[in-house]
Chains A and B, each alone.
Chain A
Amino acid sequence: MAGADGDDSLYPIAVLIDELRNEDVQLRLNSIKKLSTIALALGVERTRTELLPFLTDTIYDEDEVLLALAEQLGNFTMLVGGPENVHCLLPPLESLATVEETVVRDKAVESLRKISQEHSPVDLEVHFEPLVKRLASGDWFTSRTSACGLFSVCYPRVSSTVKAEIRQHFRTLCSDDTPMVRRAAASKLGEFAKVLELDYVKSDIISLFTALASDEQDSVRLLAVEACVSIATLLPQEDLETLVMPTLRQAAEDKSWRVRYMVADKFSELQKAVGPEITKNDLVPAFQNLLKDCEAEVRAAAANKVKEFCENLPEDSREQIIMTHILPCVKELVSDTNQHVKSALASVIMGLSTILGKDNTIEHLLPLFLAQLKDECPEVRLNIISNLDCVNEVIGIRQLSQSLLPAIVELAEDAKWRVRLAIIEYMPLLAGQLGVEFFDEKLNTLCMAWLIDHVYAIREAATCNLMKLVEKFGAEWAQNTIVPKVLGMANDPNYLHRMTTLFCINALSEACGQDITTKQMLPVVLKMSTDQVANVRFNVAKSLQKIGPVIDSNALQTEVKPVLEKLATDTDMDVKYFAQEAISVLALA
């Protein structure tokens, strides 16, 4: 205990407080971030009696300092002497929970929630709950918004009278004057409902939920949708129809697209919460409407949920619902005017094939896939290609290859390098599924063309792609198709292309094995050691270091060593450096 108690003569609080008060914000921030160190130096007693009162009094500072303080105090329990003293952290955190800046307040609330768990039930009623009440009835909206996040952490552990008070306070905040507070209350409604007794959920929460869901501000109404998920999970099935569904139906047809968007975004959760019967009768038509919504934003959110929604439909009627209700909407979305909608759909549509099985996929989905593969927007095509594996399992990729190829070729030459990068990443997968002949015939040239792309990231990805292809198709294939082309680039007039040869060799040597590396690659690398560009020369050194372990030891001594020794005396310091490094790593010295 002696160590933690500190020593008065050592660290007079004045010195430490001076640091916390320094004029320079950065220094104050540094000090606050080490507040636990200061507390440690002071010991628990003086932390409680001197440091905390100081902190409580001087809460007017830059928000950044306050944020750090709010965070620190959440971990201070041991530094003030453990759970029996934890309540002395409440005053500074209470002040922090009322400041204007949202991030500070949120952090203070987070810390309060954390330390609430460390309070004994008695302390919770004596110290914590009064604080919540004070915040809940504060003048300025900030303290009331903070209070919203604290009800649920103290409710389960207090007596029934206090519980009644807490419920009352929450009710009041739900109908607060300022929309900011109502938003805070609405966002905590679900969480609060979870800790309430079921009877109170039915009597209190439902009426609050209904009121918030028909608030005049759409920013409040949309938060009620989120709460809907938790509330519906809590209630028994027979009550859902009367207590939740009227509100949910209303939200799905709200006049504000933001609310409808929220419904679409939470659709899978809602679907799970209300169960299969309501899903069949209510959610299916609601989902159809969202897929046909007039705002693209809403359609895109709904399109994103198509697969999940279909997956979670009750098994007995799943296929029938999809075929008669969902698929017609999906067909329309394929030719939507908005590219985000199409691209959202493309990212999930392939998943439907596993649900619908081979025959339906071929008959109904395949035309949609093909249409999307020809879409004008590269993102749509890319999303289809990136999910090919789902279809492959059901009908095999060959069905698609006719349309696949033009789509791939076009993406491979897209003007945006990020698109090119994305398609490269799917090459190994495609190659595996399409087979070696198809690849050689149609895709090989593309893969080689990427090696001389203008953008380094593409050249790098292309190199890595070659390595994966060799792993898939084997060394012999590499020797016949790739290696000659790669080595040919060693004589290219562009030094960047010559370097690409080296990068490829680095990547391929291991997959190709000792024989190819020593006999075919090594001579090329060694020849490049006399390149006039220093960048190429030091990359020769790096390459030799990299492929050294693959080369047979005889060649290493007789061929590699002299070259590296020569490079180690190069006029360029970087070439020297890497040559020396290679010599020592390969133990050739």
Chain B
Amino acid sequence: MSAISASEKVDGFTRKSMRKAQKQRKSQGSSQYRTQCAPVELSPLPQLKDAPSTEQQELFTQKLQQCCMLFDFMDSVTDLKSKEIKRATLNELVDYVSTNRGVLVETTYPEITTMICTNIFRTLPPSDNPDFDPEEDEPTLEASWPHVQLVYEFLLRFLENPDFQPSIAKRHIDQKFVLQLLELFDSEDPRERDFLKTILHRIYGKFLGLRAFIRKQINNIFLRFIYETEHFNGVAELLEILGSIINGFALPLKAEHKQFLMKVLIPLHTAKALALFHAQLAYCVVQFLEKDPTLTEPVIRGLLKFWPKTCSQKEVMFLGEIEEILDVIEPTQFKKIQEPLFKQISKCVANPHFQVAERALYFWNNEYILSLIEENIDKVLPIMFGSLYRISKEHWNPTIVALVYNVLKTLMEMNCTLFDELTSSYKADRQREKKKEQERDELWKKLDELRLSSAQNNSHGLPSVQNNNNNNNNNNNSNNNDTQDKSAEAAAVTSENKDPDDSVAAIESSPCAK
């Protein structure tokens, strides 16, 4: 018991770094071996390069069949000899298909695909760590990687071989094959996902008949990720492939592609783990906009709809993406979106989290954005002014205040008269807002009364409501602003009186005594 430090005894939640240290020991997993009975011991076959050319094909097939034997890598002591034989054979096969010409005859295709399917297609094991955080935790690595890696390598060389014929291969590399390949993208092992990315890219390039299918399945994976499981390890890799696919789309864009943008890529922004694939996602979005600028308005509206409410880190990413979009925006598109967009930006600059405010204020360092703002200063300035003016006085962070002063100065230089007008009407505007709020409260109060009275008494509920309503109409003449303001202040003061219980609770929980 003495090994446990006092701090740990107090704090049951062990630190993440400590947990991580424990984790690393067994960050290996595999469900490879599970489908098969005990493996038979392998005996080495002669080298392909030593065999006479007439027998090479036969030997190649034999070696492929030999490599269909699976071994248990979770148990590091069994079948050592056979594992080594398979490893050497796989190496030889990789070498064989990448350096020799004329080895891919039609009869080898089924053997090759069988070997690949047997080795790589498997149900991924359950994650060791159910709340696996890809940013913090070590991934579980595939235990059978020494073999699996070579099989992936072989598949890649097979696809890249100059003799490779998609017309023959398509009988084996079919929709089912692709579907299983896509499921493997959920692997926690980044090395595996990296191979899969390159392989899928090759397949997409070589098999025209599979392209639509691949896109649709990626669609399904993303939709399941967004709306059902919120868990899929390979989102970034799939987006990277899509980035280059989108790049190659023909114009005008098909409805299918636009739907993919609006119904899949934009909702992907809602994911909790956005940080893991945001760069790739933003790249895809910008690719779309460069292809077809008319998509700018729906895209920005989509981003505004999903704007993060509580996660500042994500908000910074959104702002980054908006800047990437603004970098390529056409001035006509800018005009269409400026109003809702700058309402959001105005909220961001006033964000109490200084990184969010800072990221938004950096927009004013961007020459192109600055020119767009200048062109539309009469629209942008009134939206931005309130927030900027307020935080220039209120923000807690001095850097932000300094940045805001610069922005205000820039804006003032763009349109001095408008700036002065806004400055002088600022107070009145605030008061008008306050009053509107009060009217809203009144309205709802009355509606609630109506609900109460109708609940209590169906026939006598109405008169009292009618009386109230007269007051409501009178309120429209706005000559009692001052009194309202005072009452609001008074309310604020009373709410500061604290409850004795509160202060006691604070004392009790404080560790040091008075």
Residues on A lying within 8 angstroms of B by beta carbon are 1-4, 7, 9-11, 15, 19, 23, 27, 30, 34, 36-38, 40-41, 62, 100-102, 140-141, 178-180, 183, 216, 218-219, 255-258, 294-297, 413, 415-418, 454-455, 495, 533-536, 538, 572-574, 577-578
Decide if A7 touches B462 in the complex (CB within 8 Å): yes
A-B contact pairs, 20 of them (CB 8 A): A3-B459, A3-B460, A3-B462, A4-B454, A7-B466, A9-B469, A15-B443, A23-B343, A37-B444, A100-B227, A178-B223, A179-B224, A180-B220, A180-B223, A180-B227, A257-B126, A455-B10, A535-B514, A574-B503, A574-B504
Decide if A40 touches B513 in the complex (CB within 8 Å): no
Decide if B224 touches A415 in the complex (CB within 8 Å): no
Main secondary structure of the interface of A (DSSP, over half): helix
| A40 cross-chain contacts in B, Cβ below 8 A | 447, 450-451, 454
The 9 closest A-B pairs by CB, nearest first: A3-B461, A3-B454, A533-B513, A415-B4, A256-B123, A416-B12, A294-B34, A534-B514, A102-B227
The CA of A416 and the CA of B126, in the complex, are separated in Å by: 26
Least Cβ distance of A298 to chain B in Å? 9
Least Cβ distance of A388 to chain B in Å? 24
Interface centre among B126, B343, B459 (most CB of A within 10 A): B126
Decide if B223 touches A574 in the complex (CB within 8 Å): no
Q: A4-B458, A10-B469, A180-B220 are in contact. Are A218 and B123 (CB under 8 A)?
A: yes
| B448 cross-chain contacts in A, Cβ below 8 A | 34, 37
| B257 cross-chain contacts in A, Cβ below 8 A | none
The CA of A229 and the CA of B440, in the complex, are separated in Å by: 54
Decide if A577 touches B500 in the complex (CB within 8 Å): yes
The CA of A1 and the CA of B461, in the complex, are separated in Å by: 10
- Determine the interface band of chain B, counting residues with CB < 8 A from chain A: 35 or more
Per-residue interface assignment for chain B, residues 491 to 514, with 1 indicating a CB less than 8 Å from any chain A CB and 0 otherwise: 000000000100110011000011
Per-residue interface assignment for chain B, residues 349 to 362, with 1 indicating a CB less than 8 Å from any chain A CB and 0 otherwise: 00000000000000
The CA of A577 and the CA of B453, in the complex, are separated in Å by: 42
List the B residue with the shortest CB-CB distance to A4: B454
Give 5 A-B pairs besides A11-B447, A40-B447, A413-B1 with Cβ atoms closer than 8 angstroms. A37-B451, A180-B223, A255-B35, A415-B4, A534-B514
List the B residue with the shortest CB-CB distance to A258: B123
The CA of A534 and the CA of B8, in the complex, are separated in Å by: 29
Q: Of the candidates A38, A140, A179, which one forms a contact with B447 in the assembled complex, judged by CB atoms under 8 Å apart?
A: A38
The CA of A341 and the CA of B219, in the complex, are separated in Å by: 36
Decide if B123 touches A3 in the complex (CB within 8 Å): no
| B454 cross-chain contacts in A, Cβ below 8 A | 3-4, 40
A-B contact count (CB 8 A): 124
CB of B263 closer than 8 Å to a CB of A: yes
Interface centre among B9, B125, B503 (most CB of A within 10 A): B9
Decide if B267 touches A100 in the complex (CB within 8 Å): yes
Q: A3-B458, A41-B450, A294-B34 are in contact. Are A535 and B508 (CB under 8 A)?
A: yes
Least Cβ distance of A454 to chain B in Å? 5
CB of B228 closer than 8 Å to a CB of A: yes
Least Cβ distance of A239 to chain B in Å? 32
CB of B21 closer than 8 Å to a CB of A: no
CB of B490 closer than 8 Å to a CB of A: no
Least Cβ distance of A528 to chain B in Å? 13
Decide if A3 touches B31 in the complex (CB within 8 Å): no
The CA of A413 and the CA of B514, in the complex, are separated in Å by: 31
The CA of A305 and the CA of B448, in the complex, are separated in Å by: 52
| B8 cross-chain contacts in A, Cβ below 8 A | 415
| A178 cross-chain contacts in B, Cβ below 8 A | 220, 223
Decide if A179 touches B220 in the complex (CB within 8 Å): yes
Per-residue interface assignment for chain B, residues 14 to 35, with 1 indicating a CB less than 8 Å from any chain A CB and 0 otherwise: 0000000000000000010011
List the B residue with the shortest CB-CB distance to A410: B1
Q: A40-B454, A257-B123, A415-B4 are in contact. Are A534 and B176 (CB under 8 A)?
A: no
Within 8 A of A (CB), among B242-298: 263, 267
The CA of A218 and the CA of B121, in the complex, are separated in Å by: 14
Least Cβ distance of A451 to chain B in Å? 15
Least Cβ distance of A217 to chain B in Å? 8
The CA of A36 and the CA of B503, in the complex, are separated in Å by: 40
| B447 cross-chain contacts in A, Cβ below 8 A | 11, 34, 37-38, 40-41
The CA of A451 and the CA of B305, in the complex, are separated in Å by: 54
| A36 cross-chain contacts in B, Cβ below 8 A | 451
Q: Of the candidates B6, B223, B514, which one forms a contact with A572 in the assembled complex, judged by CB atoms under 8 Å apart?
A: B514
Per-residue interface assignment for chain B, residues 101 to 137, with 1 indicating a CB less than 8 Å from any chain A CB and 0 otherwise: 0000000000000000000000101100000000000
| A257 cross-chain contacts in B, Cβ below 8 A | 31, 123, 125-126
| B504 cross-chain contacts in A, Cβ below 8 A | 538, 574, 577-578
Least Cβ distance of B472 to chain A in Å? 9
Least Cβ distance of B481 to chain A in Å? 21
The CA of A408 and the CA of B126, in the complex, are separated in Å by: 33
Within 8 A of A (CB), among B403-453: 440, 443-444, 447-448, 450-451, 453
Interface centre among A294, A418, A577 (most CB of B within 10 A): A294
